[in-house]
Amino acid sequence: MRRTTKTLWLAVALTLVLALPPGVAHAQKKTLVVALNQDPDVLDPTLSRTYVGRIVYAHMCEKLYDIDEGLRIFPQLAADLPAFSDGGKTVTIKLRPGVRFNDGTPMDAEAVRFSLDRHRTLKGSNRKSELTSITDVEVVDPLTVRVRLKTPFSPIVAALADRSGMPVSPAQVKKLGDKFGTAPVCVGPWTFVERVPQDRIVLEKSKHYFDPGQARFERIVFRIITDDNVRLANLRSGDIDLMHLVAPTDAASLRKEGRFEVASVTGLAYQGITINIHNKTGKRAPRGDLGTPLANDARVREAFELALDRDALNQVVWDGQYTPGCTPLSPVSPFYDKGRTCPARDVARAKQLLADAGLAGGYAFELVIVNNPQQRRVGEVVQGMAREVGFNVSLRPSEFASALKDNDDGKHQAFLIGWSGRVDPDANIHQFHTCGGSLNQSNVCDEAIDALLNRAREVSDHAQRAALYREAVAKMAARRNVLYLYHPNYIVAFPKALKGYKATPDGLVRIKGTSWQ
């Protein structure tokens, strides 16, 4: 069949690009393809909760504040750090002038007030716990917002450096209502174009961003590739430009090849096993009796923890390159408790605890894992260790967003799930462990823990806050609604021709300011 002139010219153009040196060939590309290991949940900053979703937001939903590689908070959409008055109960925020949402409407004080109130009050909001101390948000003038707090709230700036600090377009919210997440509009160098679930999310360069020179790609495509090996093969073939969450063993081989930069940073994140204790019909429903030994008997949960060897898990699954841990605070956090030691594996003690609980013949339960190779490896190691003690742990792989919903709804006994970490410890702890916390999937409630965590929100002295967190973590560790396992390194890889990338401990991929050279 005769080829058309157009086809011939396309073939010639492709041949010319392939013949160029690597740096020059990359420079022709106006689209950057980033591979994520999971599909985000709803793209609505008020409702969402996934780490990979935060990576997408970093490009289309900027915040009042952000953090840098040294965990320092700096103004992003705000003009400066906030001013505190009235004993810390009044927070005044000045906004950057001339900022527009990606639909062209103004991002002003009224839009910030609208967005903060939406985060605080919308049904199903996962931001409520982060902003619970706010009593009122006032518009002082078009570029000034005043936030009133019922008590001083030390984590307020850190909260506004994440999804709670993302303004959303009031015009788009009014247009789409509860469907906002299907076509989100925020402020960012790129704007949302389309989403194909389990396949891709496409952004294009915004016409309204206040600093357009920072967006040096016409499009960013986030491809969802859950299999590590497939992501790696796509990186090597050039079908993707940046690989997110490279496995430690793969990072070593990529470094040897010499074609790729491999950026690695110890993260604020943790990975653990959330155990359902009282969530029978939903995390916001009244606490229920699940009727299982795992939920009702603390000895069974202790036996399960004592079956686990965190150091061995790190060696077997992560080639020893992650950091074993048993608290929600990473070693990079200034609040990390260096004096705390994790329980060592103790098979004899674990068996005795099961016997004391009337389960000398063993106990079976289901552990839900996200359906990707990394989580399967972790689940299988946990399964094998627990078997030696008398636990028969069955693994149920599940699609990520579905697993999150089922966990919220109380359908899991145990769930291997992590948290990408925040710069202030409050956001790693409070919403997971307080009575009615927005991410309290176990539906646990202990007023003594609440009192410690609420007090830690009010004081600003670092030593006082650290002491309160030490005491709270000790009580949480005894309750064992979350068994923390390790803190990951965030490893990404990309061709050496991509310049300007900076790794931060929050693990977010940030393309702004990068370019082919």
Q: What is the largest CA-CA distance in the chain?
A: 81
DSSP H or E run through 192: strand 190-196
In this structure, is the dihedral angle defined by the CA atoms of residues 296, 476, 404 and 368, taken in order, positive or negative? negative
The CATH number that domain 270-487 falls under is 3.10.105.10
Question: Cβ(62)–Cβ(76) under 8 Å?
Answer: yes
Residues 468, 455 contacting (CB under 8 angstroms): yes
**Tokens 């679930």 belong to which residue?**
197
Q: 107 near 100, Cβ under 8 Å?
A: yes
pLDDT by residue for the chain (517 residues), tens only, comes to 444 444 444 344 444 444 444 555 566 689 999 999 999 999 999 999 999 999 999 999 999 999 999 999 999 999 999 999 999 999 999 999 999 999 999 999 999 999 999 999 999 999 998 899 999 999 999 999 999 999 999 999 999 999 999 999 999 999 999 999 999 999 999 999 999 999 999 999 999 999 999 999 999 999 999 999 999 999 999 999 999 999 998 999 999 999 999 999 999 999 999 999 999 999 989 999 999 999 999 999 999 999 999 999 999 999 999 999 999 999 999 999 999 999 999 999 999 999 999 999 999 999 999 998 889 999 999 999 999 999 999 999 999 989 999 999 999 999 999 999 999 999 999 999 999 998 999 999 999 999 999 999 999 999 999 999 999 999 999 999 999 999 999 999 999 999 999 999 999 999 999 999 9
Query: Terminus-to-terminus CA distance in the chain, angstroms?
Result: 40
CATH superfamily of 51-176: Dipeptide-binding Protein; Domain 1 (3.90.76.10)
For the domain made up of 20-41+185-267+490-516, the CATH class stated in words is: alpha beta
**pLDDT value of residue 373:** 87
- Secondary structure letter of residue 152 according to DSSP: -
Report the alpha-carbon distance of residue 430 to residue 449 in Å, rounded: 9
Work out the number of other CB atoms within 10 angstroms of the CB of residue 69. 11
Domain ranges, ordered by start, for the chain: 20-41+185-267+490-516, 51-176, 270-487
Task: Name the β-bridge partners of 33.
Answer: 221
Contacts of 38 (CB under 8 A, 6+ apart): 50, 51, 52, 224, 226, 370, 372, 400
**b/e map of 387-416 (b: 16 or more CB within 10 Å)?**
eebbbebebeebbbbebbebbbebbbbbbb
Closest to 325 in 3D by CA, of 335, 347, 307, 340 = 340
Q: Is the pTM of this model over 0.95?
A: no
- Cβ atoms of 232 and 491 within 8 Å: the answer is no
Q: Would you state the pLDDT for residue 11? A: 42
**Contact at 8 Å (CB) between 125 and 47?**
yes
Look at residues 53, 82, 64, 56 and name the one whose alpha carbon lies nearest to residue 168: 64
* pLDDT score, position 77: 98
